[in-house]
Structure 1
């Protein structure tokens, strides 16, 4: 492992900041809608997903199969986190949008770590727009 020299950590810091900022947008919506996961959870998920990819870059360099295994592990972990957000009360199921949003947020973190910023921005945009539109449609149905 190469020693930490100069400002070599700045690209990692930049990417972690981008992942955090994009996830914050989604977390803001979930917080505003008073959901079980919000401003604390979503940025942490994106930063962790991004961090797992960054932390293993030295191990996976030149080995796409190894990188794929790390990404698969992040995806699996996101499934467990998302599963924890889903609750069943009687015949009703709650939390599926939050679980799907958490999964999307993990994808944002992975995309940023792989420097696929365009993909991360599009996932964030689609997720935020979907949550915003659906919240307004549901409130119209009730009112």
Structure 2
């Protein structure tokens, strides 16, 4: 792989992770800009490394992608916490998992797809985060009215 291609792939992976992490950072959630950028970058680097063995005998380069998914699952699991009946961190874990996917797209030079995925992730987190806050506020209001 040429150094220019490598640089473009890892650069776009990091930018994608930063873009994905913006919403998490703005809303004060864990795993913001740096975490998502590093997850996307790391996934990209490992997949780029595996691509160097493409065509070699007895080598299955797709196994690296499976291992990236598994490894990111462990990172995501670390963000999930249970507080009584409430579970927190599921969206953060899912966002980290999606950032790794974005890194994989960058590694495979699927740049149009990378853009679509990044926009979709951010739109889901922003739009449904807004809807979730509205629903929670409404439920809290209804609960308080029922207490009185």
TM-score w.r.t. length of structure 1: 0.88
Partner of 1:5: none
**Which ranges in structure 2 are unaligned for 5 or more consecutive residues?**
139-148
Alignment of 1:21 with 2:15, yes or no, is yes
Partner of 2:87: 93
Alignment of 1:107 with 2:101, yes or no, is yes
* Runs of at least 4 residues off by over 4 Å: none
**Which ranges in structure 1 are unaligned for 5 or more consecutive residues?**
3-7
1:1-143 pair list within 5 angstroms: 8-59=2-53, 61-62=54-55, 66-141=60-135, 142=137
For 1:65 and 1:116, the matched residues in 2 are separated by 23
For 1:56 and 1:9, the matched residues in 2 are separated by 16
For 2:94 and 2:108, the matched residues in 1 are separated by 21
How many residues get paired?
136
For 1:58 and 1:25, the matched residues in 2 are separated by 28
Higher alpha-carbon Rg: 2
Give me the CA root mean square deviation. 1.8
C-alpha change, 1:65 and 1:125, in structure 2 (3 Å) is farther
